[in-house]
Amino acid sequence: MNRRMFTRLGLASLLAPAATALRAQSFEVTRTDAEWRAMLSDLEYRVMRHEATERAGSSPLDKNYAAGVYHCRGCDLALYSSAHKFDSGTGWPSFWQSLPNAIGTKEDNTLFTTRTECHCRRCGSHLGHIFNDGPAPTGKRHCINGVSLVFRAA
């Protein structure tokens, strides 16, 4: 169920606490809402600033396996190495770990379940979620919205 469906069903308030909690945190890189809107496309803004999710299979980064590093679109912090990327079959870029000190996490209780949301530790941009069904050695799957990332080839 996406944000639009929640709004139509009158359940949009269930999504608000998570976004509000993240915005209340203080981050090294901050921008006004107008500055975020000016630098991001509508989809990037909805995903990165309001924790929406891009459509599965829509990101070209899902099938990108070139050597390099994935950076935060919001502040250019290096987040994920291509060495940690794998094909999860979900339709989103997936990694079994992030780079050291790159992401922050918080509990996400939207959508009637508890998940681990991950965001850029420097600017707070929403990246995606972390699940416990990934490959060794961590067993984690960082399921990341491609619109939150910029790939830089090695």
Instruction: Pull the structure tokens for residue 135.
Output: 């490959």
- How far apart CA 54 and CA 51 sit, in angstroms, is 10
The model carries a pTM of: 0.84
What is the domain partition of the chain in residue ranges?
3-153
- Res 49: pLDDT: 97
> Has residue 1 got a pLDDT over 80?
no
Q: Would you call 118 a catalytic residue per the annotation?
A: no
Q: What is the pLDDT of residues 86-145, one digit of tens each?
A: 999 999 999 999 999 999 999 998 878 889 999 999 999 999 999 999 999 999 999 999
Nearest Cα to Cα of residue 107 among 118, 93, 99: 118
- Res 25: pLDDT: 67
> CB of 54 within 8 A of CB of 147?
yes
Higher per-residue pLDDT: 64 or 20: 64
Distance of CA 96 to the CA centre of its chain: 14
Q: What is the pLDDT of residues 12-33, one digit of tens each?
A: 434 444 444 445 568 999 999 9
Among 72, 120, 123, 143, the active-site one is 143
Task: Report the relative pairing of strands 85-86 and 94-95 from DSSP bridges.
Answer: antiparallel
* Cis bond before residue 60 (omega within 30° of 0): no
Q: Would you identify the CATH topology of the domain 3-153?
A: 2.170.150
